[in-house]
Chain A
Amino acid sequence: MANLTIRDVRKSYGSVPVLHGVSIEIPDGEFVILVGPSGCGKSTLLRMIAGLETITSGEIEIGDRVVNDLPPRARDIAMVFQNYALYPHKNVAENMGYALKLAGRSKEEIAKRVNAAADILDLKPLLYRRPSQLSGGQRQRVAMGRAIVRDPKVFLFDEPLSNLDAKLRVAMRSEIKELHQRLRTTTVYVTHDQIEAMTMADRIVVMHSGVVEQVGAPLDLYDRPANTFVAGFLGSPAMNILPGQIRRENSTAIFDLAGGGSLQLPPGTVGEAGQPLLLGIRPEHIVVDPTGDASFNADVVVLEPTGADTLITTRIGSTDLLVLIRDRMNATVGKPLPLAIQPGRLHLFEPNTGRRL
């Protein structure tokens, strides 16, 4: 158990910088997820915490001790790799106990701790099997068991669920979350899957091109994204981001889309009129509103019902607008649909920098 501090950490390969000064403060016991598209530097950062990559500049502290120059084995961390990395020449129990064996612990202690971890993860019947005799999900659990056995200061997960099928991924997601709630070990978890990030993390670090875009609790990031990148990255389907400008008519605000057409904004919308802006609105925050006066019409282009909800692609002028509707309703392709934006759900961004206004 320990806190983890990353202070202005940079990484370059030769003259190519991949991390441009990342600072994150992770208190003891927190579950932090680094999320971002591939190539954003999240895995590199994780590997630097593990000691598998050198640190070009900056400092990494685990439990108030700077670990920059310590080899991985001296950092008291455990890592779970995307492809599990189980030793093929050792059985499950030997895999799980290897770190303890190298640390010179007694056979009895190793057996006790391996058994305890196997109990937590239902691995008891598999202890004497080889990795090749296990399914993907079982291998993943063994890899986690190996991390638990060590009782390290920090758990590091590198896209641990990416190789599992969709159903197993959902199951393992809650299993990892439950495990963390039980053990309360400081955890850094890397994924490119925003659903994993939203569902599991205490705090999310959104990264993009070697820079931290925003750090915060999942729902805070969802409710108040700091910029268009975070806004577009978190949430599924992605937020509509529409270029245009606000026009005020009497007491109502109207948004004129850059691609032609306009939509009426809910009452109480702030924002300077006449300035080019980016309007962000999540598909789930648009409602079908046949009667309300704060509504606008959009032509239905595609209907995608999933059963639980329906994703409707609509078009205003030449701008596409995604709408997610929970209730069953009669929409017809080619016909206009009256829509309204829920009050207080709008996001306005500066068009050049993408920053939230």
Chain B
Amino acid sequence: MTVMSSDGPVRSKGGSVMSERQRMILGRLLSYLTLGIAVLLILFPVYWMVITSLKLPREIYRVPSLWPKAFTLDNYYTLLFDKNFLHPIFNSLIVATTVTVISVIFSAFAAYSMVRFRYRFKGVIGRLILFAYLTPGSLLFIPLSILMAQLGLSNSLQGLILVDLAFSVPLATWLLQGYFRGVPRELEEQGLIDGLSRMGALFRIVLPLSAPGIAAVSIFVFTGAWNELLFALVLVTSESQRTAPLALNYLITSDVLPWGPLMAGAVVSSLPLMILYFVAQRFMVQGLTAGSVKG
């Protein structure tokens, strides 16, 4: 690039230099255009959700407009005070946080054993874990609801947490295995020689070095549990135990869609996820293990 900018001595064949330069600019423009379209595709629904939540009902049902004529917080008022939407948000926080914490702890141990130890039937267990994850939830909700009823856990957040765990632990185990494999065995062995126990090596070496992986897995599991609707719909019957997606669903009465409060509810229930992504992004820095061992 520095060569190209010194156009004094190469002016005689400036034409070709310029065309090279133009091609570069054109390439840049095309990249930005593509990225711009992608960003637009992703952000437009978000924008539409936010803007609709701020419109008055009469404007929502009129010809769609990109910018509201009058801004209102009526929808939020209805949602938070008439419908008491903060309660299901709180329920969802309990479910998603518990599921995430338990999943990460359980699957860290499971994944570590699968990666580092040799034992009988390890391969079979590994495949079964993946298989459990691949089973569609819509196939399992009837058996699971019967199971929860027999355990006396239906219509409770505990039951919902247990069911969510059945899907998130296999996924988290499977994902963490990949990250643990990326931590060189020698680092752990060095830790053992330096004075750590097996557990110590897991907590002080493998987990810190897999921090990006743990962050990614936590986000995955949290998002999954946060957005889960099917099992909540089947298991939860009373209003006090509803999670956010379920409460949103119950905003719809027969065939009436209250778009304003619905969109306001969508905004409110997206906020925790957005905050989580923003915070965890910091931890998902790659290349933390660079330089420890020769690749």
Binding site for B on A (CB under 8 A): 50-52, 71-73, 77-79, 81-89, 98-99, 102-103, 130-134, 136, 139, 163
Contact = CB atoms under 8 A, between A and B. Distances in A.
A270 B293 CA distance: 54
Contacts of B190: 79, 81, 85, 87
B197 interface: yes
Contacts of A89: 208-209, 288
B29 interface: no
Contact of A73 (B195, B288, B290, B291): B195
B30 to A, nearest CB: 35
A163 B294 contact: yes
14 contacts: A51-B192, A52-B193, A71-B197, A82-B186, A83-B186, A83-B293, A85-B184, A85-B186, A85-B187, A85-B292, A86-B292, A88-B288, A102-B194, A103-B195
B205 interface: yes
Nearest to B118: A13
Given A71-B197, A89-B209, A132 B192 contact: no
Contact of A72 (B187, B192, B291): B192
B140 to A, nearest CB: 38
B189 interface: yes
B205 A132 contact: no
A99 B195 contact: yes
A98 B194 CA distance: 7
Interface string B185-218: 0110111111111000000010011000000000
Interface string B112-132: 000000000000000000000
A41 B292 CA distance: 26
A28 B286 CA distance: 45
Contacts of A98: 194-195
A85 B189 contact: yes
Interface string B156-200: 000000000000000000000000000010110111111111000
Interface of B: 184, 186-187, 189-197, 205, 208-209, 287-294
A71 B187 contact: no
Given A51-B192, A89-B208, A81 B186 contact: yes
Contact of B193 (A79, A130, A139): A79
Nearest to A150: B194
Contacts of A52: 189, 192-193
A98 B192 CA distance: 11
Contacts of A77: 193
Given A87-B205, A88-B288, A72 B189 contact: yes
A113 to B, nearest CB: 14
B293 A86 contact: yes
B289 A88 contact: yes
Given A83-B184, A85-B184, A89-B208, A78 B193 contact: yes
Given A88-B209, A89-B209, A83 B294 contact: yes
A139 B192 CA distance: 20
A15 B195 CA distance: 32
Contact of B291 (A71, A102, A133): A133
A130 B290 CA distance: 10
A128 to B, nearest CB: 15
B192 A85 contact: no
Nearest to B183: A88
B189 to A, nearest CB: 5
Contacts of A81: 186, 189-190, 293
A103 B196 CA distance: 10
B74 to A, nearest CB: 51
Contacts of B208: 89
Contacts of A82: 186, 294
Contacts of B290: 88, 132
Contacts of A84: 292-294
A136 B295 CA distance: 11
Contacts of B209: 88-89
Given A82-B186, A83-B184, 8 more contacts: A52-B192, A71-B192, A73-B194, A86-B291, A87-B205, A99-B195, A131-B291, A132-B287
A136 B294 CA distance: 8
Contacts of A134: 291
Nearest to B198: A71
Contact of A88 (B194, B292, B294): B292
B291 A88 contact: yes
Nearest to A152: B193
Nearest to A47: B189
A272 B190 CA distance: 55
Contacts of A51: 192-193
A67 B186 CA distance: 21
Contacts of A132: 287, 290-292
| Interface core residue of B184, B192, B293 (most chain A CB under 10 Å) | B293
